[in-house]
Amino acid sequence: MKIFLTGGAGFIGSNFVRYLLSETGVRQVINYDKLTYAGNLENLKDVEGDPRYRFVCGDICDRAALDEALPPETDLLINFAAESHVDRSIESAAEFIETNVLGVQALLDLSRRKGVRRFVQISTDEVMGSIEGDRYFNETSPLEPNSPYAASKAAAEMLVRAARMTFGLETVVVRSGNCYGPYQFPEKLIPLMISNTIKNVPLPVYGDGLQERDWVFVGDYARALWAVAMKGRAGAVYCIGARTQRTNLEVVRAVLAGLGRPESLIRYVQDRPGHDRRYALDPTRLEQELGWRPAESFASGLKRTIEWYRSNPSWIEKVTSGAYRDYYQRMYGRREGYR
C-alpha cells in the first residue's frame, strides 16, 4: 500500500507515521510537510532510516510542488496538514484560510487528477461548535464553528464533500476531540501545563477553567484513524472520542499532581474570545462499525505523556528554538514560509 501524508511532521501526523511503519502491508509512506513552527523533523528521528519512509518539504498550497511529490497510483492520501491552534487563529486568520481551505482544495484537485484511491480529511469536533448540558455531538450534528480555526476546518469539510458529490472522489472524514500524548507542541493545554510545571512557572487557565474538552490519547487516535482509513465507509464521517470529558481545571490539577507540584502555580487569566464551553463526542459509529475501543484511560494516558515530557526536556528546548528551525531550513533548502 502506497500512502501519502501531509503534515506528518506535526504532533498527530508524526505519531501516526510511527504507527503506520509498525503495520505490515505498508510499502511506502511519503510525508509532505511545510515545516511550520509546529512541524519538527525531530519528531521523526527514529524512523528516518526506514527504507519505506520518505520526507518531502513542501506546502500544500503549492500546486506544482505537490504535483511533483505525489506519486501516481497512491492508495491513500491523509491530510493532517493544517494551522491547528485556536489562539493563533484569533490573532490572525490569514494562514488558516490559506492552508486549511485553499490548501485542501489544491489537494483535492490533484488527488482527482492523479487518481488517488481514497482521500482522508482530518477534521475536528470544533466544526460542530459547543455542546451544552449532557448532550453529545455525533456525525449528524450541524456544523456551527465559532473560531476562525474551526470555520476554516468546516470549510474544508464542505470542499471535501463537494469533491465527492461532484467528481466522485472517494473520501472519508474523521472528527476528533482533543488529542494528547508525546511530541505535541507546547502551546496546547496539556504539553504547556507540563512544560510550565517542570520549569516551575505559572500555569495560565483561561476564564473560570470549567470549560470541558473530550480527550483521546494519540496512540488510540492512530488506531482509530487506521481503522477508518482501511475499513470506513466511503463518504462517511466518523467521530473519534474516548468518552473522556474533563474540565480544564481537572486536567491542570491532574498534571500538577502527576508532577508533585502545588496548585498555587495556577493563574486565572483572561478568557479566550468566543471560547467554546464544552465538547463531547459520541463514538458509537466508530465502535459499532469498526470495533474500535481506546486502550488508555485518561489517567494512564496522562501518566505516559508526563513521563515522556519529563524524559525529553531537550525536545521542548529544540522545538521552541529559532535556531532549530534555521537548521532544518538550511538542510532542506527552504527560504520562505517559516514563522
Residue ranges that bind ligand DAU, judged by CB under 6 A: 84-86, 124-126, 177-178, 188-189, 192, 204-206, 211, 213, 248, 272, 279
Catalytic residue flag (residue 126): yes
Closest CA to 291 of 204, 193, 223, 192: 223
Residue among 155, 79, 81 nearest 120 (CA): 79
Residue in the shown chain whose Cβ atom is closest to ligand DAU: 124
Binder of residue 294, out of ligand DAU, ligand NAD, none (CB less than 5 to 8 A by kind): none
Q: How far is the CB of 294 from ligand DAU (least distance, A)?
A: 16
Three-state DSSP state, 49: coil
Alpha carbon distance 231, 238 (integer Å): 11
Q: Which is nearer to ligand NAD, 152 or 196 (CB)?
A: 152
82 binds ligand NAD (CB under 6 A): yes
Q: Which of 3, 4, 5, 12 binds ligand NAD (CB under 6 A)?
A: 12
Q: Which of 125, 214, 220, 296 is catalytic?
A: 125
Closest CA relative to residue 171, chosen from 123, 128, 219: 123
Q: Does position 179 bind ligand NAD by CB under 6 A? A: yes
- In this complex, which beta carbon is closest to ligand DAU, that of residue 70 or of residue 179? 179
- Smaller CB separation from ligand DAU, 267 or 310: 267
Cβ distance to ligand NAD smaller for residue 261 or 327? 327
Shortest Å, Cβ 219 to ligand DAU: 17
Stated length of the chain: 339
Residue, CB closest to ligand NAD: 10
Whether 132 is catalytic: no
Contact 286, 139 (CB under 8 A): no
% helix / strand / coil in the chain, to the nearest 5? 45, 20, 35
- The residue assigned the cell 501518566 is 303
Positions 56 through 75 that interact with ligand NAD (CB under 6 A):
59-61
Grid coordinates representing 328 are 532544518
Of 236, 221, 215, nearest to 279 by C-alpha is 215
E-only strand ranges, 253-313: 266-269
Q: Which does 213 bind (CB under 5 to 8 A by kind): ligand NAD, ligand DAU, none?
A: ligand DAU
Task: Give CA–CA dist 138/141, Å, rounded.
Answer: 6
Place of cell 491532574: 254
Nearer to ligand NAD, 178 or 245 (CB): 178
For residues 272 and 304, which CB has a smaller minimum distance to ligand DAU in the complex?
272
What long-range pairs does 320-326 form, CB within 8 A, spacing at least 24?
320/186, 324/40, 324/42, 325/35, 325/37
Catalytic residue, candidates 83, 126, 157, 212: 126
Give the cell for residue 71.
506519486
Among ligand NAD, ligand DAU, none, the one that 12 touches (CB under a kind-dependent 5 to 8 A) is: ligand NAD
Asked if 282 is an active-site residue, the reply is no
Per-position x/- string for 20-49, each x denoting binding to ligand NAD as judged by CB under 6 A, each - no binding: -------------xxxx-xx----------
Return the SS3 of 193.
Answer: helix
Instruction: Give the residue numbers annotated as catalytic, written as ranges.
Output: 125-126, 149
Interface ranges with ligand NAD (CB under 6 A): 6-7, 9-13, 33-36, 38-39, 59-61, 80-84, 99, 103, 122, 124, 153, 176, 178-179, 185
